[in-house]
Each structure stands twice: as C-alpha cells, then as structure tokens.
C-alpha cells in the first residue's frame, strides 16, 4: 500500500471516529493509536488478508462500512417490519466502536523480518515479510476489549461483539463450554453477529492477499 493511501485511510478513519463516536475518552484513544502504536501502518495479517503496511486500518474501515450497510439494508428493515427477534435498533455509535476498534489487539503484533523463498529459477532469495511477536498473549477479542477499556467505557453489547468477533474460528478446539458461551453471546445482541458478518465479508470478499 502506497504512503498516500495509508495517509488517506488514516484521515478517513479519524473522520469516522469523530463523526460517529461521541463517548468520553475517544480523543485519548485516538491519540494513543496515532502516537503510541503502529495501528495506521501495521498489516492486517502476516500472510492473509491485507498483509501489507496500512492493512490493519484499511481492514477496520472495511468492516465498519460493511457493518453499516448490513444494518441499513438487512437488519433495520426487518426490525421496522417487526420481523426481527431484536426489536430495538442498534446504536450507530456502538456499531462504530465495535467495527473500528475490534482489531486493536493487532497493534504491535506483527514485526517485519527477513524471509526466504525460491524464485522462478529455483534460487533462494530474501524478502521482507511479517511474523507474529505477541508480547501480551491475552487472546484476540479479549485483548481488544482490554485495550479499549483503558479509554472508553464499553457497553455489554460492545464487549460481547468485540470479544466474539472471530466467531467459530476462536472456539474450534475450546470445548463445549466455550461453544455454549459463544452461542449465548450471539443470542444477546444483534451486534455480536453483525460484527462477525462484516469482518468475514470484508476479509474474504474485498481484501487481497499480497504474495511475497
């Protein structure tokens, strides 16, 4: 991703935060992201979706925009028609917080390193890639909630959505107790499933993988 695109995405992200989030602590959180983390320059993964500088911010933008569209065109019409088991509409601020901050656990997670591969002539060549260096292995969604809560007081809905945004990927080998907790969370608020849908749709439909 070119530097100009990284800067454009950064400004768009800050604009969304200021437009949709009015909660106490938002300015302090944005200052933290901008000046004390690599959030705006970090990749979204090591070798999957948006594994390029600036990918993390771009991914969060995609998730927010996708979540807003799903809410506007699917969830809200069903609620207005009395066809949803969740009659109360979601607060846009909650959608923004959950989507724009769901992956703060990735700040400082990916480190650039020299890697090796074979070229078209079967010769080994070096390239710069990423590897995971988790200095605080607290979990994925759990760590995001932990970081955000230093600055914003999250609602129960927001906590559940961010904690479980990885969906089934986060509980594959965790046993029946964790699966029950996950399904219960999905039943508590439409925000839980909305964030999962937006996250999966963005990462698998819209975001390319850079082949190193």
DSSP assignments along 71-98, one per residue: IIIIIHHHHHTT--S--SPPPHHHHHHH
Helix (H) or strand (E) holding 145: helix 140-148
Give the predicted TM-score (pTM) of the model. Answer: 0.92
pLDDT at residue 212, rounded to an integer: 65
The pLDDT score that the predictor gives to residue 167 is 87
> Exposure pattern of 131-141 as b/e (b: 16+ CB <10 Å)?
eeeeeeeeebb
Other CB atoms within a 10 A radius of the CB of residue 89 amount to: 13
Assess if residue 43 is contained within a domain. yes
**Domain span at 18:** 3-109+137-206
Q: Tokens 């010769």: give the residue.
A: 123
Task: Let me know if residue 116 belongs to a domain.
Answer: no
* Residue 120 lies inside a defined structural domain of this protein: no
DSSP label of 192: H
Extract the tokens encoding 63.
């998730």
Tokens read off for 44:
């979204």
Distance separating alpha carbons of residues 2 and 55, to the nearest angstrom: 11
Residue 126 included in any domain = no
Residue 80 located in a structural domain:
yes
In whole angstroms, what is the distance from residue 163 CA to residue 98 CA?
10
Spell out the per-residue pLDDT of the chain, length 212, in tens. 899 999 999 999 999 999 999 999 999 999 999 999 999 999 999 988 999 999 999 999 999 999 999 999 999 999 999 999 999 999 999 999 999 999 999 999 999 888 878 888 888 888 778 999 999 999 999 999 999 999 999 999 999 999 999 987 776 555 567 888 889 999 999 999 999 999 999 999 999 988 76
Please tell me the predicted confidence (pLDDT) of residue 1: 87
How crowded is the C-beta side of 209, counted as CA atoms within 13 Å?
A: 11
The verdict on residue 12 lying in a domain is yes
Number of domains in the chain: 1
In a domain, 211, yes or no: no
Q: Coil, strand or helix: which one is 111?
A: strand
Q: Which of 182, 206, 185 minimizes the C-alpha distance to 50?
A: 206
β-pair partners for 129? 113
């Amino acid at each position: 991703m070119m530097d100009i695109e990284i800067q454009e995405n950064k400004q768009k992200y800050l604009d969304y935060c200021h437009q949709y989030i009015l909660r106490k602590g938002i300015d302090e959180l944005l200052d933290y992201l901008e000046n004390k983390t690599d959030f705006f320059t970090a990749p979204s993964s090591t070798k999957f979706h948006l594994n390029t500088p600036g990918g993390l911010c771009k991914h969060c933008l995609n998730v927010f925009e996708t979540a807003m569209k799903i809410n506007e065109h699917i969830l809200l019409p069903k609620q207005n028609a009395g066809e949803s088991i969740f009659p109360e509409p979601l607060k846009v601020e909650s959608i923004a917080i959950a989507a724009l901050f769901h992956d703060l656990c990735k700040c400082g997670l990916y480190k650039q390193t020299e890697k090796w591969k074979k070229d078209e002539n079967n010769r080994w060549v070096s390239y710069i890639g990423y590897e995971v260096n988790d200095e605080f292995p607290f979990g994925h969604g759990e760590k995001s909630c932990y970081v955000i809560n230093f600055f914003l007081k999250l609602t129960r809905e927001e906590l559940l959505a961010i904690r479980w945004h990885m969906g089934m990927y986060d509980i594959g080998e965790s046993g029946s107790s964790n699966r029950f907790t996950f399904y219960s969370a999905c039943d508590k608020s439409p925000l839980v499933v909305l964030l999962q849908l937006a996250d999966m749709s963005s990462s698998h439909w819209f975001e390319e993988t850079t082949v190193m």
